[in-house]
Each structure stands twice: as structure tokens, then as C-alpha cells.
Amino acid sequence: MTEAVASGSERMEFEIRGGLWEGIHAVIFYAAVTFAVLATLGVMRVALGIGCIVCLFFSMFAIFSSPTYVIVDPVARGLTVERYHYFIPSRRRLGREDLEGLEVIESPRVPTTEGEQGSKRDLSYYVRVYLKRKEGHPLKLFRSGMTGAPSDNRNKAFLIVQGLAGALDIPVFYTRRGLEDKHAQEQQGV
């Protein structure tokens, strides 16, 4: 995800990656890799070789040509969701009245600070930011990746939430996954 942090009345834009569309094409990409391995082992060389090339280029083109952007306009108190599928755009405008708030979901264990004790590759930590709408499914704005340091992912999520909450004047709901399960078990006496 790429974000541009806005201050005051400036426009803010986020590029959202992931989701069902990219997940399907990532599976097609890995199928192409499997076809390549099987073709080098001598299993149906011609058919799998051609299938590998077709699937590889199709999946790369589909992922490259299909980003999703969220453009926040603080002056109009709304945002535009702009999706591209094969370079063909579709836009949907959401006003402040269509939004309930931002939901931040974080793992139960927060990352330690950077330095000697901080981990740059802690895969157990995650943070997700969703835009809750009054009607429809929540829109995923941020998901921590496996390549970034946990503290960097947390800082990015904070900047996104701070910018959106300020620009759209919407409430923020914060949840830690795993903690509500512990509290529920303690209340039930388990």
C-alpha cells in the first residue's frame, strides 16, 4: 500500500493492494510456476510450457493493471473508491453520511520498539484498518504485510487512521484480536 499523508484540507490518496481479485490472480501465478516445474521434469512439456507462459503473463498483467485507490477529499467530507480491472476504471463516491467509522484490528501482542530488542520480521504481529460503511461490507484500507517491520506497519496504520479520522470526522473503533476471547473465557469461568 502506498499512502500520501495529508494535512489540513489537502487531498489524501491510498493505493490498496490485496483482496479477492489479487488473490485469485496470485493463485494463477503460482499455478504457472507449478506448470513450469512440471514441464522441466518432462511431464507434458509442450502443453505445460505453453500453459505456464499464458498463465504467467495473464496473472502479472491482471495484478499490474488492477489497483484500487481511495481518494479522500476533506473539503467535501467524503471519499471516492476507484477500482481498475484491466485498466478499466469504476468509481464509487461515499459521503460522510454513508460511513460509520474506522475499525482498527491489531494482534494481541504489540511490537517492541526498534533497536536491539525489536524484531524486523515478527510474523505474529498484524494490524488491519477497515472503513465501516452503514450499508455493505467494510472496505479494507490497510493490512500489514509480511515484508515490513512490525513497528513500521503500526506507524503506517496510525498515519492512515489519523489522516482519515481527521479529514472525515469519523470515530475510530480499536480492537485487539485474541484479547476479547481471553476476556470472554475469564467471564465464563473457563
Residues 60 and 84 occupy one common structural domain: no
Q: Average pLDDT in the 81-92 region?
A: 89
pLDDT at 3 (0 to 100)? 46
22: cell is 489479487
44: cell is 507434458
Residues 41 and 113 occupy one common structural domain: no
Give the CATH number for residue 82.
2.30.29
Residues 75 and 37 occupy one common structural domain: no
pLDDT at 5 (0 to 100)? 47
- State which residues form the domain around 127: 2-17+67-188
The tens digit of pLDDT for each residue in 3-50 reads 444 445 677 888 887 778 888 989 999 999 999 999 888 888 888 889
Residues 34 and 99 occupy one common structural domain: no
Residues 45 and 89 occupy one common structural domain: no
* pTM of the predicted structure, to 2 decimals: 0.72
The tens digit of pLDDT for each residue in 109-165 reads 776 665 455 556 666 778 889 988 888 788 888 888 777 777 788 888 888 888 888
